[in-house]
Structure 1
């Protein structure tokens, strides 16, 4: 009797687990999907950037009416929001502000929303070596009544020609110090280079980074030279030992025995 009760209970539990997994899988398959277009790893200040974000199934797991919000740090902005039904355009909206709100209604149709964004890379307000300076390329939210949920957001590194060159010099110096096994003087110059970089003094940062790299490379060359000398001395000692051993052996071979 106990065994039968345990078996029925186990089967019931298994069915509940399978049902829960099925519902979870169905919910995941039908959830709203946001696909980002091409996004640059970095962009120069003033450079024009264009990207397109695609929202699939905008009314799955959402109300029939909801508001799409978008914002960006780009300047001279142009948004184009296009609602599509099986590839055919249903509605299209445009905005020239850094942020927009666009209501979406299922009764108008639409299984896809494409948002094209174009704008110019903004100036860097605060230079930081680590983490790198970034701006918000786009940030999308879905608003349903008083509830707001994030859909997708992307950050992009931005730079000027001077800041890029200074950063590269610092990167090269840091790599040289790492390869040398560490050098206190070089590290001190590197720290000063980073400080100069973060104070927008890029020429000084590049110069200090160059000094740090030179010191690290010289230290590495010196260490390699010393290692080569030590290896040479060690090899010479081994050679002298071998020669001495051979000489000793030959000397013993030439000595007459007592029987002679």
Structure 2
């Protein structure tokens, strides 16, 4: 290869490397900025909850002067409230929508809108399938921006853990059993671990038995405690035997020493 070709190849490689480096550090353009959010981390099935998100930087990335907010949720009996504010923080309008999906909340710089609050209120849905290893969650709120031409950008989504009183009690019992087994240390916890496995099996699935899961988990916790106590009793017994043996050795040595130090008067 000639020197000219080598130079061209080197420049090409350098250009490719520079491009890759810049693309690795370049931050993706956000559709809209989320200034504040107030969303519950969890909710009980059947409970009514609310979440509110404040949007700003409304006309950057992309530079759309007019667009619409769209929303989705897995809550039931849903009401959406979209409130618009100007640069002074004064309310300039609001819209309300019903249903798990809404669209048509128009954001426009011509109306002086610089900030938008989106609030969703509804009922926490049922859990379709339980898994102990992974807490169940549902879509609390998902927001996007869309334009009449069909273009759209996802803004952000929020997930929330949902549960029932029975599932929460069963989960807590299983967690306690796991902690008891772990704290049992070197004790024989095989029986407790078997009960724990059965408790988790009773918890999992689309038709769980939380009463059975709680009962088995409580048994596992008790079994782990008994195993730990038995192990400690055995250790104490071994220490006691070791102490007794040591005492006998010392006593035997003492008597041997005394017997060898005793002198007898053969003449009486």
CA offset at residue 103 of structure 1? 2.9
Q: How many residues align?
A: 232
Q: CA separation of 1:246/1:55 partners in 2, compared to 1, >3 Å: closer, same or farther?
A: farther
Of 233, 244, 255, which aligns to 1:236?
244
Of 113, 117, 138, which aligns to 1:114?
117
Residue aligning to 1:37: 37
The unaligned stretches of length 5 or more in structure 1 are: 1-19
Paired residue secondary structure (2:38): coil
What do residues 209-241 of structure 1 show as CA deviations (whole Å, max 9, x unaligned)? 122122111111111111222222333344444
Residue aligning to 1:177: 181
CA RMSD of aligned residues (A): 2.8
Q: CA separation of 1:83/1:250 partners in 2, compared to 1, >3 Å: closer, same or farther?
A: farther
What do residues 179-238 of structure 1 show as CA deviations (whole Å, max 9, x unaligned)? 224622222221211111223211111111122122111111111111222222333344
Residue aligning to 1:5: none
Residue aligning to 1:13: none
Q: CA separation of 1:31/1:127 partners in 2, compared to 1, >3 Å: closer, same or farther?
A: closer
The unaligned stretches of length 5 or more in structure 2 are: 1-21, 264-268
User: When the two structures are superposed, what TM-score results if normalisation uses the length of structure 2?
Assistant: 0.76
Which runs of structure 2 are paired with 1:1-260 in the superposition (5 Å)?
Answer: 32-62=32-62, 63-85=64-86, 86-101=88-103, 102-144=105-147, 145-181=149-185, 183-198=189-204, 199-243=207-251, 254=261
Q: CA separation of 1:96/1:234 partners in 2, compared to 1, >3 Å: closer, same or farther?
A: same
User: When the two structures are superposed, what TM-score results if normalisation uses the length of structure 1?
Assistant: 0.78
